[in-house]
Structure 1
Amino acid sequence: MEPLFSPALHRQRHQFVIDFVKRNKPRKVVDLGCAECTLLGKLRWFQREIDLLVGVDIDGTKVKKKMHALAPMATDYLQPSYEQLCVELYQGSVTQKDARLRGFDLVTSIELIEHLTLDDVECFSEVVFGYMNPVDVIISTPNSEFNPFLPGLSGFRHSDHKFEWTRAEFKTWAQTVCLKFGYEVEFTGVGAAPPGQQESVGFCSQIGVFHRLEGNMLRCDNAEDVFAYTLLYSINYPSLRDNNLLRRVLVCEVLCWTENLKSRWAMKTTCDEALCGIEGGKEECLSERCMEVEEEQTVCGAEMREPMGPCEKDLSKDQENDYSKLQRCESVPLEVLWSHCPKVSALCGSLDNLRRILTDDPDVNLSQDGNAVLLQYDEQDLGEKEEQDDLQDSGYRLRTASNEKKMTAFMRKRQTKRCLLCRKVKFNTWHSMKKEKKKDDALNHAEHENVKTEH
């Protein structure tokens, strides 16, 4: 049997809200009757539009069941946005006032009011439109005129429904609310009727979209603040507005790009030496490098020609006394990172800021003049270099199929190591940032509880 609605009706209701958010970009959104936070879980992806996302439900057990699914993901720590999203979940009744829910841009109430008694609907209207006074309100409720088209249905659609309105009844209530509280409303819905029946029965779920009229501002400004709801969950998403997080993300980007550039420079040098060491290889080497310049983009998205070099001039006195250490260090100029890596330049704003941030970070080794990032060869790097030299010094300069195969395997091994190193850097950064965020969130939760106790 084919489904009556495709997509499912609850998905269509949620998509209606999502489309509204995309068009109107509300900064503060609250979902009344959030239950297991399904709609909130979809809205949290709109971090560029939403600053504060709140859910309220009278059943705290349902909220607690799924609330941790709203926590930031690893990608939110590795690639944080500049805007900061805060998610808060409360247990409470929509017929009670709470000052923390005043002044929102959007209030959603999806299939909620039919679970209230008619007296409670009046309280709901007073709380939402009179006290909370949001810019926009989206309310959906079942359309009883559509019920005959639902197979096997007798009575209401759910055992907990206290009523189910016709389109006329919903319209009468909505227009009364608008006249009393200074709103205007437009009617629509989701779940289309069978062909030829739309005009006579309407949508399966009827929706009223309320817009606050100009001049209708927050009322009861002098009223005493009321905190009737219980805070169940609060989380701040990572944001580049946090200076500590900004520094960590920038350092992570710098370390990853420098390691990547180091690998590419080493691979280029190895390939050039291998090609130039055989008969006719020099001309082929030059030809291939010309093609690379024309066709290949570097990891930073721009052409790079010899971005790195040995750091002999930047070594400390101890290193100068040990010539072997000269061979263990290479440098990446900050100007290269700044000019060719858009994300690095966007994060720090200026070359001076980049230098200042990296100077204070213990994970980054700068040259003495502060103009380059120094990269030390580890033991595996040196082992690979010796392996490369052994290949070239033991007769492998002859161009054979076997030789090319071994050289390709060597390059793949080297690139794989670099990729794993970059992933390790990012994971360590994410792990440390997540630990700090947990501490901050615990402090914020304690502050919320103190405020509630005081009031």
Structure 2
Amino acid sequence: MFSPPLHRQRHQFVVDFVNKNKPQKGHFLSLQVADLGCSECTLLMKLKFHRDIELLVGVDIDGAKLKKKWQGLGPLSTDYLQPSYYQLRIELYQGSVTQKDARLRGFDLVTSVELIEHLTLADLGQFSDVVFGYMIPAVAIISTPNAEFNTLLPGLTGFRHHDHKFEWTRAEFQSWALGVALQYGYEVEFTGVGPAPLGQQDAVGFCTQIGVFRRLRQRPSCRAVFGVDVEELFSYELLYSITYPSLRDNNTLRKFLVAEVLCFAEELKQRWMEERMAASDGSLLQTEGGAEAHQAASGQRVEARENPTACGPEDENLMGQRGLGLFMTQEEANQGAQEESPSVHRFVAVPLASLWTSPKVSALSGSLRNLRHFLMEEPTVRLSQDGSAVMLKEEDLDEGSFHAEDGDYGEANQCSQPPEQGEEWEASV
């Protein structure tokens, strides 16, 4: 009767609600969402792609069913290659919705999709007290079958499911919902999914009726209701927990940033090498950057014609130490070579100010000072003595080799040269 199927429409209603109520400036920076009676985790699998959600929790009394489905909630390979700034944590609990658990208090959104009709009236009273009196979410979405619509379902006799304890009419559902809202300090709006055929909507309503409960502003949140002396109740058993890779984690951010830096450095190096080769053949084109490349080949400092990025005052000193562009300094190369071997290596020094012109590098680091701080902590990256440039061996770069720890972060595989295992350089120069 319905396209898409009714269960998908119910889940899509929640997804659309999350999209329409994304965190705004001055409000929640990210959402905490719990699905009570999550069953096969279908709704959770849809919500995990919404990066405004930082904590996604599923609760169901059937632990065996949760164990069969939790693999679908794990991160994808793209979540490691392109980690989000938002941090997502998913947890699955086995437990009854009639029991209290402190780990579910104060969520931004609690959903209960086609659950309450499986409860006895006595359990329903406990459910109301747990959700609205103990969890105290900012918003609760509760759906249940509309008994008035049953006459339009072909071949149906009795309830829609053998485990249903009741199926309410619109008046019965609204009476219960308004009573709960009044008792616990909420307001409720009624809607639904699965519309009736043309001309019968007013007579029978939606196939699934939905109540959207919003906590009144004068009602304190659970963080204000429960003090530190209140007993912490932990009735649920944690079956599954996974934290997605996030740029909020310094280790992940550092690996991703280093991969971006090395990839961009390879791109800049290739441009400089082409210009230097052209200059050595006497056929250097007089294009922008050609003069700088010639100066670089002569061991002179390269100055940028203009600064393409906006830097704060704290970055001016760092930018002033080296101009934008690529250059070679034999003095630093000799100093670095003396530490490793008697032979003299030639180095290409890529100023941090040049690397920071990359939108990705600047967005990830935030400032030149932060960029230098991250690179100084990375043992696979060699900096100049004053910390203003990344020092790369020219012969190693000719082979396209660089080292990024784990090789799973950033877009290093998109460089013009395939990454190979680089030699282990000491952190100090």
The aligned counterpart of 2:418 is: 420
Secondary structure at the aligned position of 1:29 is classed as strand
Matched, 1:23 2:41: no
Matched, 1:342 2:349: no
In the aligned structure 1, how far is the partner of 2:190 from the partner of 2:10? Answer: 14
Residue type of the alignment partner of 2:345:
K
| Change in CA separation of 1:224 and 1:379 when aligned onto 2, cut-off 3 Å | closer
The aligned counterpart of 1:12 is: 9
Shift of 1:80: 2.9
Shift of 1:417: 7.1
Shift of 1:312: 2.5
The aligned counterpart of 2:241 is: 234
Matched, 1:42 2:46: yes
RMSD, matched Cα: 3.2
Residue type of the alignment partner of 1:316:
N
Which of 167, 170, 174 is 2:173 aligned to?
A: 170
Tell me, yes or no, if the aligned pair for 2:267 and 2:415 is still in contact at 8 Å: no
| Change in CA separation of 1:198 and 1:77 when aligned onto 2, cut-off 3 Å | same
5+ residue gaps, structure 2: 23-27, 291-307, 310-322, 401-412, 423-429
Matched, 1:68 2:71: yes
Return 370-379 or 51-60, whichever deviates more.
370-379
In the aligned structure 1, how far is the partner of 2:39 from the partner of 2:154? Answer: 26
Tell me, yes or no, if the aligned pair for 1:131 and 1:220 is still in contact at 8 Å: no
Secondary structure at the aligned position of 1:310 is classed as coil
Shift of 1:331: 2.2
Secondary structure at the aligned position of 1:51 is classed as strand
Residue type of the alignment partner of 1:28:
Q
In the aligned structure 2, how far is the partner of 1:419 from the partner of 1:146? Answer: 63
Which of 41, 51, 55 is 1:52 aligned to?
A: 55
Cα distance per residue 1:85-111 (max 9 Å; x no partner)? 222110000011111111112110011
Secondary structure at the aligned position of 1:140 is classed as strand
Matched, 1:368 2:372: no
In the aligned structure 1, how far is the partner of 2:107 from the partner of 2:191? Answer: 23
Shift of 1:32: 0.2
Cα distance per residue 1:391-419 (max 9 Å; x no partner)? xxxxxxxxxxxxxxxxxxxxxxxx98735
Matched, 1:332 2:350: yes
Tell me, yes or no, if the aligned pair for 2:266 and 2:415 is still in contact at 8 Å: no
Tell me, yes or no, if the aligned pair for 2:263 and 2:415 is still in contact at 8 Å: no
TM-score (norm 1): 0.72
Secondary structure at the aligned position of 1:67 is classed as helix
Matched, 1:310 2:314: no
Q: Residues 33-182 of structure 1 correspond to what in structure 2 (within 5 A)?
A: 33-47=37-51, 49-182=52-185
Shift of 1:315: 0.5
Shift of 1:248: 2.1
Shift of 1:6: 2.0
5+ residue gaps, structure 1: 291-300, 384-414, 426-455
TM-score (norm 2): 0.76
The structure in which a higher percent of residues are helix is 1
In the aligned structure 1, how far is the partner of 2:74 from the partner of 2:126? Answer: 33
| Change in CA separation of 1:268 and 1:354 when aligned onto 2, cut-off 3 Å | same
Shift of 1:269: 5.5
